[in-house]
Amino acid sequence: MRETPRSRETAGDSGSERPQLRSGRASAHATGAAGPGSPHRSDGRPLQTPRSERRAGPDGRPGTTPPVPGRPLSCVPDPGTASSARRLRLGAGALFVLAFALATWQVLVAGPLLDADRSLDRALVGHGPRALDGALSDLGSMPVALPVLALALAYALWRGARASVWAAAATMIVVPLLVVPLKIWTDRPGPLTDATGYYPSGHTATAMVAYGTAALVLGPYVTRRVTAPAAAVLTTATAVGLVLRGYHWPLDVVASGALCGVLLLALAAVLRRLEPGGRLEPGVDERPGAED
């Protein structure tokens, strides 16, 4: 019988000894290996790019996108959109100033615009429900409008918007400082009385500034799709009630609306400066990764 050939292992070889690395394909997987066929794309380079060599993100912070911790891209204003909005606000302010100047000039010189104003007043006075007229005109009284503004300011103060609250309160204080001297200067009589001091309408001014200021202050916390239309409706209802009841000429309320439009535009500009970096939509979280 032929003897089975013995294995070529020597007596010193042990089955428990770790296998030795062989040169060839497997050596290409060693850390930092270089040469053709190496799977490492950063051959001979550190595994991580130093922080000083990283490109800056869109907000100026170190890092690249996506993702970069910091403010979401949705709150970064578009320069073109911001410029268009600025021109629109300037144009609206210019129209308000022009309308108020024209109305005041016509009242002072008893110009032809007053004839159209009287004709429109005769067509409107007494043509509405008396109870409704009174309720609408009372929306511009201080006992009604000021508590609404006070509630809005108290909520904004509770949310920490102290500077915005001070700016809004100052705007409301400016109203009588402007309206009362204008009433004395123009000395216009009312529609149903010989008493004077009816131009511009103080009730319209109170309603527009109180409700408009409340809408602006609540803007960061409540969607403007609710606050802005509500303020516009309340102001318009006040003006309609005053004219239908015969408390003011139509031109009185129009001029008061133009004057207070300038005040609200100025307040809106101040509030934007008090909130640098733009304003997020309600419910958007500024924390990094909150949008995931």
Tens of pLDDT along 152-197?
999 999 999 999 999 999 999 999 999 999 999 999 999 998 899 9
- The answer to whether residue 56 scores a pLDDT higher than 60 is no
pLDDT greater than 70 at residue 82? yes
Mean pLDDT for the stretch of residues 88-92:
91
Question: Quick one: pLDDT band at residue 279, thresholds 50, 70, 90?
Answer: very low
Q: How far apart are CA 122 and CA 54, in angstroms?
A: 74
Q: Whole-model pTM? A: 0.68
Q: What is the identity of the amino acid at 82? A: A
What average pLDDT does this structure show over 89-117?
95
What pLDDT is stored for residue 47 in this prediction? 52
Q: Give the sign of the dihedral formed by CA 31, CA 34, CA 35, CA 37.
A: positive
Q: In percent, how much of the chain has pLDDT > 70? A: 67
Comparing 21 with 206, the larger pLDDT belongs to 206
Q: What's the rounded Cα separation, in Å, for the pair 65 and 241?
A: 56
CB neighbours of residue 91 within 10 Å: 10
Judging by beta carbons within 10 Å of its beta carbon (0-12, 13-18, 19+), is residue 40 exposed, middle or buried? Answer: middle
Q: Where do runs of H (alpha helix) occur along the chain? A: 79-109, 113-124, 130-137, 142-158, 162-186, 202-217, 224-245, 250-274
Domain spans in the chain, listed from the N-terminal domain onward? 87-274
